[in-house]
Amino acid sequence: MEEKITLQYDMTVKQRKELEAKMSKVLKENMRGISSELQKILLDDLVTAFQNRINVLIRAQKKRNY
């Protein structure tokens, strides 16, 4: 019997903060021209967009059995 890997719909607060920290580290050089407050807003937006995209792909996968 084939086992399917299911993706997670929601991130825990800890996972979200870890992802924000990783994105911050990777994008640090690109974000240095904006204030720390705007950096936090941008990172929050990026994590939210990432999570939303995953949810869209999960729904599409369920409909099409990818």
Domain residue ranges of the chain, discontinuous segments joined by + = 19-64
Instruction: Give the global pTM.
Output: 0.76
Tens-place pLDDT, residues 10-42: 889 999 999 999 999 999 999 999 999 999 999
Structure tokens at 52: 């939303």
Per the CB < 8 A criterion, the answer to whether 37 and 13 are in contact is no
In this predicted structure, the answer to whether residue 6 has a pLDDT above a threshold of 70 is no
* Distance (Å, whole) CA 25 – CA 58: 27
Percent of the chain with pLDDT over 70: 85
pLDDT at site 66: 59
pLDDT at site 62: 85
